[in-house]
Amino acid sequence: MRNRISLNCIVVGLCLFNFIPKSTFGQERIVDGLYWLRVQTNFEINELWTGSFELEERRFLGPDRAHQRVLPEFKLFYKLKDRYQLGIGYTNFSIRGPQTAELAIEQVLSEQRYAFIAKSKWKWLNSSIVTQFKTELRNFDRDPLNGQLNYLDYLIRLRFLGAYQYPIAKNWQLKIGDELHLHTLGNVDYQLFDQNRIFTGLSFSKGDWSYGLDYLYWYQKNRKGSVYYHRHILRFTCIYSFSFR
């Protein structure tokens, strides 16, 4: 219990530190608006095994141009108990550079991610609390301009997510949460803090279909720590769920 409390204090402390205005430390501040379009399929294999398949297009609002793409993300989970799941994941990811909307695309950086995931979901009154720990091995194309894929650079990133979900009406659900990203091992160009995402949203479910609209406030620093990106994001989600049973 003490170790769990200590870990929570460390994570909360990192979050609070990164809320301090970045102008205090002399970093450049870049603010952009984006929208994300996500389609996802959730499937149930049996009582113990579930999975998902996801595609996502991430674009700047003005001017409208591509920023990132998820093509695709695949996850497979094994249910340990009623509250706990363990999973693995693979993501094929690409980043359009540079990272500011006003500049034209100069390169497309390809990335592959391999992930281990631990999830839990706790019922509290009529609501639920979701936590997720995710560790990612990220492989980057060494030279995105040579026309070849050569995944030699790597980075290990940890992601800590906590979310609160509350049913506000029939078929409607409200959620709020936060996800912190930290670099740990690998490419020395990156620093410990990567990014933080604060989000809230509404979702509507009807039968096998679910639709969601989220707002995310995402801030992230570049490799050298000299620039902080502040991003305001609207995410539109469509999910279809089915079972093989």
What is the residue-level pLDDT of the chain in tens, covering all 245 positions?
444 444 445 444 545 444 444 444 567 889 999 999 999 999 999 999 999 999 999 999 989 999 999 999 999 999 998 899 999 999 999 999 888 898 899 999 999 999 999 999 999 888 999 999 999 999 998 887 777 777 877 889 999 999 999 999 999 999 999 999 999 887 667 788 999 999 999 999 999 999 999 999 999 988 777 889 999 999 999 999 999 98
Are 43 and 24 contacting, i.e. CB atoms less than 8 angstroms apart?
no
What is the residue extent of each domain of the chain? 2-243
pTM of the model: 0.86
Contacts of 87 (CB under 8 A, 6+ apart): 75, 76, 77, 78, 115, 116, 117, 118, 119
For the segment(s) 2-243, the CATH number from 3.10.105.10, 2.40.160.40, 3.40.50.720, 2.40.100.10 is 2.40.160.40
Q: CA-based angle 85:89:90, to the nearest 5?
A: 175
